[in-house]
Every structure is written in C-alpha cells, then in structure tokens.
Amino acid sequence: MLSLKKLFVLATSLTSIAGSPVQGKRQASSSLDAWLTSESPIALQGVLDNIGAGGAKAVGAKAGIVVASPSQNDPPYFYTWTRDAALVFKLLVDEFIAGDAALETHIADYIGAQAVIQGLDGPSGTLGDGQGLGEPKFNVDETAFTGNWGRPQRDGPPLRATAMIAYAKYLVSAGRTSTVLDLLWPLVRNDLSYTAQYWNQTGFDLWEEVNGSSFFTIAASHRALVEGSALAASIGQSCSYCDSQAPQVLCFLQSFWTGQYVNANINTNVGRTGKDANSILTSIHNFDPTVTCDDQTFQPCSSRALANHKQVTDSFRSIYSINSGIAQGQAVAVGRYSEDVYQNGNPWYLATTAAAEQLYDALYQWDKVGSITVDTVNAPFFQDLLPGTTSGIYPSDSATFTSLMAAVKSYADGFMSIVQNYTPSNGALAEQYSKADGSPLSAEDLTWSYAALLSANDRRNGNVPASWLAAGANVLPSQCLASSATGTYSSVTATSFPTGTSVPTATTTHAGTTSTSSTSCPTATAVAVMFNEIATTIYGENVFITGSIPQLGDWNTDGSSRIALSADKYSNDSNLWYVSVTFAAGTSFQYKYYRVGSDGRITWETDPNRSHTVSRTCETSEVVNDTWR
C-alpha cells in the first residue's frame, strides 16, 4: 500500500485556518480518530469470526468460507455469497500485502474453498459452459443452495477474479509464479471466461432484486477483464477474450450515465429513480490510485462520480427521520436506494462508509493530480460544501484547493461519524440501522459491514490498494456492440494450497474430462480459437463471423446473434479484426466473415466457405489467420 500521510497532515492542520465550513470540527474529528482506533480491531475480528473453519460465529462452515452473517433466521444469512466473500477477501488480501502476515492462511483457505464452489452443479448450471459460476449463494458446507433465488448474479465471478488477482500479483512479485500458474490462474481464468461470455446478458443486481443490467456488475466486469489480461501476460499466458470484451464492457458502462447521475439498473423497468448506493460502491471498488479523475472508469474524483455522490446521498436526506434537520453539505445516513422497502427501508452501515470512502479516495487522487477541477457537472457537489465555488482548475498551491480539500475531508469524516454515532458500544456492526432512531437492525455482525468499515478507515489513513491499470483501459471503441467471447473452463482441485515458501500441490482437470493420463498435460476438452481477420474497413464498418455450428450462430446474421470481431488492435499498419470463440476439441465446421456498413448493409466474403478443425491436444487455445477476400 502507498502512504498518504502528507495529505492528511495537511488536511488536519487546515481545520484551524480554513473558512467557516470546517471550523468547530476538531473535537469531533479527534473523537472519530479515537473511535476508529478502537473499532478497527473489533471490525477485523468481526470479519474473521465469520470465516470457517475456525471462526467463532461460523461453526459448521468449511475452511475459507465467508458466512454473510451469523443470523440463522430473520433474516437467514448463514450462507456464503460469492460477491460478499470476494469483497471481504479483497480487503483481507490488501491487509495481508500491507503487512498482516497472519491473514495468508485465510487467503489460502478461501482459494481452496472457491475451487470447490466453482465446480458445484446448481440451479444456475454447471462449470462446463460456465453458467454455474453465476450462482449467487451456497450452503456453508460447500454444497449447492437449491431454493428459489434471484439468479444468476454476474458480479460474483469478476469480483472473485479481482480478489484472487490481487493475491496472484503479490505471489508473482514474491517469485511464486508457479503457484499462480498451477492453481490461481485456472480459477481466475474460469471467472474471466464467464465474464467475457455473459457480461452482455441480464442478471440480478447486487441487492438481488432487479433482473437487468447493473452498473456495479458491469464495472466489476470491466475491471476484472483488464487486470486479468495483465495477470495473464505476467505469467506467460494470454486472455484474448478479456482483450476483445473489455472495451465493449466499458462502452456499455457509459450508457448508465443520465447526465446528472448514474441510473444503477438499466435494461429493466423497476420504477425507481436509479439513484442507488450501487454506484457509490462502484466508484470505491474501481478506485485506482494511479489514475486521474477519469469519468469513463468512474474514478472517485471524476466529475460524474462526484455529481452522483451528491444525488445519491441527497436522496436519503428527506426520507429518514434521523437525517432531519441536517443541513445540505453535512453528512447524512445513507441506505441502498430511496424506494427500498426491505426490512422497511433503512440506512446501511456499508452504504454510509462507502459515501465516506469515495471522498477519501478522491482526496488521494486530487493530491496526486496536484489540482481540483470544478466544472458544470461537479459544481453542485462542491457548492454544497463551499457555497460560491465556481468552475475552474485550482492548483495545489491555491487557497481554493486548500479549502476544498479541507471541506471534503470534513464532509467525509461526517459520514464516518454517523456510523460511529449509531454503532453500539460493543462495536458490533449489523446490516442496517434504524431510520427512526439509529438502533441496529436486520442481520447482526454482517461481514461486509465490518470489511467496509476497515477499507474506509484504510483510505482515511492514506492506505490505498494497488493499481488495476485503469489508466490504459479507458479508451472507448467507436461504437458499442452487443458481444461475447468464450474462454476456457476447467475444474481445479486444490489438494493443499501453499502459503509462504512451501511447495504447491494441485491438480487441474479440464471440465468434463475423465482423463486417466498421468502426464502433466491433460488433453483439453475446450479450445479457444482466435480468429484473426485482416480486413481493410472504412469508418462505421464492422466485421462479423458466422458458420455452420451453434457457437458460430448457425449461419445466422440477425442483429442480436451476430458475433462481432474487435477492432481495438486495428491500425493503419495492421488492419486486424479478431475474436476468440471456444469449441470442443476436435470440432469441424465451416465459416465465413461478413461486414456490416453503417447503413446496415451486409457484404459477404467471396466463396468458397472456409473450414477448420479444432485441434485435440493439451493446448487450450489456437490461432487462425485469415485475410478478407
């Protein structure tokens, strides 16, 4: 983790000299400091108590399984969710890398548990075609949960990939690349394959209520594909399906922006404003400490994310009694979304800490950038804090920069102070707190609440996670296209996961194989075929592939079932279009490329049809080079 002591020393010292908005805060701020110092170890213990096998409140959970909450009834949360577990372990990996060495055995247990979970057959499907990875929740003994549920949920695989990639990057830097190759990469690859294949289909949002396209899910998908590809490259692998899909995922992500805020759920009609903590959580989980205030990846300091922060937090000002009388520009209790009726619709601890965390992230970014830009999009956010703030670029040596930094720090601390006010004296964090009187409500000891408190506190102290290379991943393609690419699914059995310097032992078997081969190279059942087509196109033209088997659309050229090639490597020197499609090894088929002009007209390649037979070796990928004819 990087340190940002300088900024916070600066911001603290400013409270005594800056303008009126921050005066009188010193007492509150120092009692918040004291509370966070005592609450942080309670929160970390709260997380560990909910993780099997040794967790005091997770009795019966297998090793590495994160129980959402010990609450068995009303609400029944004694299950493990892929999303919650991934977010919790992303935090634990960051804490481990920052120096808490004792966490590594838990990380190893988590990875071993996910190898089992990935392979389970359940109501969403199986690992064979990836669909089983979209199953949202499991029993704590690592068996499938088969009751009715909002499924699939497509944020689980990319979030799990991100948690594992953070640890994998550490292993690579520690010289333990073989562990990554043998064990982590096959697990990460499954989740990346799922993400590349299914991101463009509807599913349930992180609150498990809306079947549509969720901003949080799409952003998590983009991030995982970007850093997954980089991890692959660092270990001598590749992820062509990540590379072909990531720009399209980013393109789609932009369509959630309404002009004033993010509409959290689209491709659905649930009769809500769309202002939802979903989007604030997105900004903190896609925070990259090395980039500037980029709107495309919705960085915490971006104009869009700040405008959205105001709109979302303001939506709770008038609906909770505990917020009444709190002036605009002062922090309030924050829930999921204003129309929420679950448990009568109350503020959530993790939504309130997220509102603080986004601002701590933004402070870090402005400090790095060396200026704050106020523009027409984010001006309403800043004007709440410092009335009269006008558009402009304020460099770090300007008085306005200094006042804005202090005001935002104070505002962020306000959200943490709300959490402090409504946390009982034993430090326990439930899921919600009452909108009427602030008392804890719903599931007790919510693991995610504890993890959220810890990450917000880390950011407050200037401890930030590693970059996910967002800087190189914010270029939008010229046109958003519906698309999909398939990768490789293989089941992994972690017989024992190595920590420290011990020797890894793991066996990787490809899904569906019952190979008894004792070689170190099992025959692949599925092969990702990279189709490279050199085609000189004009602006507005796109290239597609179709062919004689279902994976290639059965010669279909209908808009919705088109398989698009990507042009993101196209240049004047290399007119390359490409797409990766996965087939069973040994499959034979005919195919052809066609192009579609901006007027929708289709132009086919000339005859004859092309044909190809997929290899049947231990290689899981191959390349076909073609040139338009």
Ligand X SMILES: *[C@@H]1O[C@H](CO)[C@@H](O)[C@H](O)[C@H]1NC(C)=O
| Contacting residue, 82, 197, 202, 490, with ligand X by CB under 6 A | 202
Provide, rounded to whole angstroms, the least separation between the CB of residue 498 and ligand X: 35
Nearest to ligand X of 33, 208 (CB atom): 208
Sole window of 88-96, 172-180, 291-299, 478-486 interacting with ligand X (rule: CB under 6 A): 478-486
220 CB-near residues (< 8 Å, 6+ apart): 155, 158, 159, 162, 282, 285, 286
Pattern 432-461, ligand X, x by CB under 6 A? ------------------------------
Sole window of 21-29, 196-204, 236-244, 384-392 interacting with ligand X (rule: CB under 6 A): 196-204
Provide, rounded to whole angstroms, the least separation between the CB of residue 541 and ligand X: 14
**DSSP-H helix ranges across 386-504:** 399-421, 447-460
Provide, rounded to whole angstroms, the least separation between the CB of residue 608 and ligand X: 4
In 3D space, the residue among 86, 70, 98, 36 whose CA is nearest the CA of residue 466 turns out to be 98
Cis peptide before 608 (omega within 30 of 0): yes
Under the criterion CB under 6 A, does residue 623 sit at the interface with ligand X? Answer: yes
Provide, rounded to whole angstroms, the least separation between the CB of residue 166 and ligand X: 26
In 3D space, the residue among 185, 193, 92 whose CA is nearest the CA of residue 134 turns out to be 193
> φ and ψ at 57, to 5 degrees?
-110, 15
Under the criterion CB under 6 A, does residue 558 sit at the interface with ligand X? Answer: no
Nearest to ligand X of 206, 351 (CB atom): 206
Angstrom distances, CA of residue 474 to CA of 89, 269, 470, 517: 26, 29, 6, 44
In 3D space, the residue among 469, 486, 402 whose CA is nearest the CA of residue 21 turns out to be 402
Active site residue 573: no
- Where in 521-575 does DSSP place strands (E)? 526-534, 542-547, 563-564
Instruction: Please count the CA atoms within 13 angstroms of the CA of 264 that sit on its side-chain side.
Output: 30
Near ligand X in 591-610, by CB under 6 A:
607-609
Nearest to ligand X of 38, 269 (CB atom): 269
For residues 340 and 366, is the Cβ–Cβ distance under 8 A? no
In 3D space, the residue among 18, 474, 447 whose CA is nearest the CA of residue 286 turns out to be 474
Provide, rounded to whole angstroms, the least separation between the CB of residue 384 and ligand X: 33
> φ and ψ at 98, to 5 degrees?
-75, -5
| Contacting residue, 200, 353, 434, 546, with ligand X by CB under 6 A | 200
For 519, counting Cβ atoms within 10 Å of its Cβ (0-12 exposed, 13-18 middle, 19+ buried), the class is exposed
Say how far apart CA 381 and CA 330 lie, in whole Å.
Answer: 12
Under the criterion CB under 6 A, does residue 621 sit at the interface with ligand X? Answer: no
Provide, rounded to whole angstroms, the least separation between the CB of residue 251 and ligand X: 6
Near ligand X in 325-344, by CB under 6 A:
none
> φ and ψ at 141, to 5 degrees?
-95, 20
Provide, rounded to whole angstroms, the least separation between the CB of residue 212 and ligand X: 7
| Contacting residue, 481, 524, 535, 596, with ligand X by CB under 6 A | 481
Six-digit token string for 458: 């880390």
Provide, rounded to whole angstroms, the least separation between the CB of residue 573 and ligand X: 8
Nearest to ligand X of 2, 480 (CB atom): 480
Provide, rounded to whole angstroms, the least separation between the CB of residue 616 and ligand X: 16
| Contacting residue, 517, 617, 625, 627, with ligand X by CB under 6 A | 625
**Three-state secondary-structure class, residue 8:** helix
Q: Report the residue count for the chain.
A: 629
Nearest to ligand X of 444, 622 (CB atom): 622
Provide, rounded to whole angstroms, the least separation between the CB of residue 257 and ligand X: 13
For 258, counting Cβ atoms within 10 Å of its Cβ (0-12 exposed, 13-18 middle, 19+ buried), the class is middle
Provide, rounded to whole angstroms, the least separation between the CB of residue 191 and ligand X: 18
Say how far apart CA 529 and CA 579 lie, in whole Å.
Answer: 8
Nearest to ligand X of 13, 555 (CB atom): 555
Catalytic member of 33, 208, 339, 541: 208
Nearest to ligand X of 199, 468 (CB atom): 199
Number of residues that bind ligand X (CB under 6 A): 20
Under the criterion CB under 6 A, does residue 480 sit at the interface with ligand X? Answer: yes
Under the criterion CB under 6 A, does residue 530 sit at the interface with ligand X? Answer: no
The H or E element containing residue 179 is helix 177-179
**Three-state secondary-structure class, residue 554:** coil
For residues 298 and 287, is the Cβ–Cβ distance under 8 A? no
The gap from C-alpha 314 to its chain's centroid, in whole angstroms, comes to 25
Residues 205, 207, 208, CA angle at the centre, nearest 5°?
A: 65
Say how far apart CA 562 and CA 591 lie, in whole Å.
Answer: 13
Provide, rounded to whole angstroms, the least separation between the CB of residue 348 and ligand X: 25
Under the criterion CB under 6 A, does residue 213 sit at the interface with ligand X? Answer: yes
| Contacting residue, 2, 172, 428, 482, with ligand X by CB under 6 A | 482
| Contacting residue, 80, 118, 162, 211, with ligand X by CB under 6 A | 211
Sole window of 43-51, 121-129, 174-182, 476-484 interacting with ligand X (rule: CB under 6 A): 476-484
Beta bridge partners, 582, equal 528
Residues 233, 238, 242, CA angle at the centre, nearest 5°?
A: 105
Catalytic member of 39, 205, 288, 626: 205
HEC assignment per residue over 31-73: HHHHHHHHHHHHHHHHHHHCECCCCCCCCCCCCCCECCCCCCC
In 3D space, the residue among 520, 526, 500 whose CA is nearest the CA of residue 181 turns out to be 520
> φ and ψ at 402, to 5 degrees?
-60, -45
Nearest to ligand X of 233, 623 (CB atom): 623
Near ligand X in 364-423, by CB under 6 A:
none
Nearest to ligand X of 54, 212 (CB atom): 212
Near ligand X in 236-275, by CB under 6 A:
251-252, 267
Active site residue 541: no
Under the criterion CB under 6 A, does residue 555 sit at the interface with ligand X? Answer: yes
Nearest to ligand X of 235, 576 (CB atom): 576
Residues in contact with ligand X by CB under 6 A are 200-202, 211, 213, 251-252, 267, 480-482, 548, 555, 572, 590, 607-609, 623, 625
> Which residues carry out catalysis?
205, 208
